[in-house]
Amino acid sequence: MSKRTIVLMPGDGIGKIVLPEAVRVLDAIGFEADYVNADIGWEFWCKEGNALPQRTLDILEQHKIALFGAITSKPKADSVKELAPALQGKGYTYYSPIVGLRQHFNLDLCIRPCKTFKGNPLNFIRRGPGSIIEEPEVDVVIFRQNTEGLYCGVEWTNPPDDVYKALNTHPKMKNFAWCPKEELGVSTRIFTKKYTTRIVRAAFEHAKKFGYKSVTLCEKPNVIRETSGMMLAIAKEVAKEYGGIALWNTNIDAQMMWLTKNPEDYGVIVAGNMFGDIVSDGFAGLVGGLGFACSANIGGDIAIFEPTHGSAPKYADYATPIINPIAMILSACMMLDHLGEVDKVTQIRNAVAKVIEEGNVRTYDMLKLKGSPDVVKQGAASTTEMTDAIIAQL
Ligand code: GGG
């Protein structure tokens, strides 16, 4: 088979630190690939007014598979000041290029596994009745709709006249008619039957393939009737095709409470864009936090794999980086899985598990000490030391 080409998009901040670590692990496991770098993120917005240049889209279109680090999602007001002087005043606005990428390539399926690694000092501890202390084993995969909902980008401050009129004539808006147009912010929550069905079906397919007994819909259909309600109706229909897999319906607020009380009750979770983002961070918190949270963005023949964490600029400038590379390394595992390299996935996951269980090498986030990284970094392994330890176990 000819060598694959993998696109590397480090992005901003700690994305630039963790991505090369994942490539080191891929090299060490003998994954044969050529790599091509692609520009994305804040640096390119400042220089050329575009955080997601067309040349990057072309490279992705050509090679299809990418590893992505992280990007900043700077607010509008802060960003304009840092634009190259020649571009200032010309109406450039910074938008999150990862949200842009998901929409451009219609990467509508976001998959975020959260699984306990034994011995991780950050594992969630549950206090039971009396003095019983338990460490529940979490094994959850979250399916998040990735292109619609509140992240669709259809929003206004001071909306156009027709939108304002439509809102003001809506029976539910009678209490807001006092609000002048220019004082009104509107973010739309769009769900389509097609893409809602696709994420629900992907969740059930995963449950069937890997023997999970339930799919839990995490929305708010009792209040948000036209979107969450639509998703529930679709889930009920799809569930009929999957005998033996129960459909559970929970509200996102209650789910955030239940996941700390009984996390082992859950297997596959499915949700829209916003609630999927929220619930996946919630489950990530039970298995060590964002340093362990990996993800895949998949749509058509293009797939991009990234840690769930952001660019964390305050950790990006250490002379010796201290950031935990495991989320990025596990994201690379998801890529290998997608490419059918199942043995390599098992080897890398086992190596990560062993390093965590042995506990000799821990990045600062695993020390469970309070305080800034400056305070706790003494005694903590660096980013490269963590990767070295994983490679040594392969
Ligand atoms: N890898 C996910 C990612 O980059 N998300 C964007 C994000 O959360 N940005 C916020 C930040 O970097 O602080």
Domain boundary among the residues 235, 261, 286 is at 286
Residues 65 and 208 in one domain: no
Residues 236 and 306 in one domain: no
**Separation in Å, CA 99 to CA 27, 40, 83, 150, 282:** 29, 12, 20, 11, 20
Nearest protein CA to atom 1 of ligand 1, as residue? 70
pLDDT value of position 78: 73
Q: Are 354 and 382 in contact (CB under 8 A)?
A: no
Residues 183 and 130 in one domain: no
Residue 140 Cα to ligand 1 midpoint, Å, equals: 22
Residue 289 Cα to ligand 1 midpoint, Å, equals: 14
* 289 backbone φψ class: left, alpha, beta (φ>0; ψ -120 to 50): left
Judge whether 67 lies within some domain. yes
pLDDT value of position 209: 97
Residue 71 Cα to ligand 1 midpoint, Å, equals: 5
Residues 131 and 244 in one domain: yes
Its domain, for residue 165, covers: 154-187
Nearest protein CA to atom 7 of ligand 1, as residue? 310
Mutate to test the pocket of ligand 1, among 16, 43, 98 (most ligand atoms within 8 A of CB): 98
Mutate to test the pocket of ligand 1, among 40, 43, 72, 277 (most ligand atoms within 8 A of CB): 72
Q: Are 359 and 388 in contact (CB under 8 A)?
A: no
Residue 70 Cα to ligand 1 midpoint, Å, equals: 5
pLDDT value of position 360: 92
Residue 42 Cα to ligand 1 midpoint, Å, equals: 11
Residue tagged 């006092």 (tokens): 178
Judge whether 136 lies within some domain. yes
Neighbours of 248 (CB within 10 A): 16
| Rg, C-alpha atoms of the chain | 22
The CA distance from 392 to 224, in Å, is: 50
DSSP of 188-226, one letter per residue?
A: --B--HHHHHHHHHHHHHHHHHHT-SEEEEEE-TTT-TT
Judge whether 179 lies within some domain. yes
Residues 148 and 213 in one domain: yes
Residues 393 and 304 in one domain: yes
Determine the atom of ligand 1 nearest the C-alpha atom of 96.
6
Domain boundary among the residues 286, 312, 333 is at 286
The CA distance from 254 to 263, in Å, is: 13
Residue 61 Cα to ligand 1 midpoint, Å, equals: 23
Residues 149 and 237 in one domain: yes
Determine the atom of ligand 1 nearest the C-alpha atom of 307.
1
Judge whether 114 lies within some domain. no
Judge whether 8 lies within some domain. yes
ipTM field: 0.92
Residue 22 Cα to ligand 1 midpoint, Å, equals: 18
pLDDT value of position 346: 98
DSSP of 311-330, one letter per residue?
A: --GGGTT-SS-----HHHHH
pLDDT value of position 185: 94
Residues 128 and 277 in one domain: yes
DSSP of 30-70, one letter per residue?
A: T--EEEEE---SHHHHHHHS-SS-HHHHHHHHHH-EEEEEE
- pTM over 0.90? The answer is yes
Judge whether 62 lies within some domain. yes
Pocket of ligand 1 (CB under 6 A): 70-73, 98, 306-307, 309-311
> What CATH number does the domain containing 21 carry?
3.40.718.10
Residues 266 and 298 in one domain: no
pLDDT value of position 370: 54
Residue 236 Cα to ligand 1 midpoint, Å, equals: 33
Residues 146 and 168 in one domain: no
Domain boundary among the residues 238, 253, 286 is at 286
319 — phi, psi (to 5°)? -60, -40
Q: Which residues in the chain come in under a pLDDT of 50? A: 375
Residue 29 Cα to ligand 1 midpoint, Å, equals: 28
Mutate to test the pocket of ligand 1, among 43, 73, 305 (most ligand atoms within 8 A of CB): 73
Residues 129 and 271 in one domain: yes
Residue 18 Cα to ligand 1 midpoint, Å, equals: 13
Nearest protein CA to atom 4 of ligand 1, as residue? 70
Mutate to test the pocket of ligand 1, among 311, 323, 335 (most ligand atoms within 8 A of CB): 311
pLDDT value of position 36: 98
Residues 301 and 363 in one domain: yes
Q: What is the pLDDT of residues 191-249, one digit of tens each?
A: 999 999 999 999 999 999 999 999 999 999 999 999 999 999 999 999 999 999 999 99
Determine the atom of ligand 1 nearest the C-alpha atom of 70.
4
Q: Are 327 and 294 in contact (CB under 8 A)?
A: yes
Q: How many domains does the chain have?
A: 3
Q: What is the pLDDT of residues 85-101, one digit of tens each?
A: 888 888 888 889 999 99
Determine the atom of ligand 1 nearest the C-alpha atom of 295.
1
Judge whether 383 lies within some domain. yes
The CA distance from 275 to 257, in Å, is: 14
Residue 73 Cα to ligand 1 midpoint, Å, equals: 6
Judge whether 128 lies within some domain. yes
pLDDT value of position 90: 86
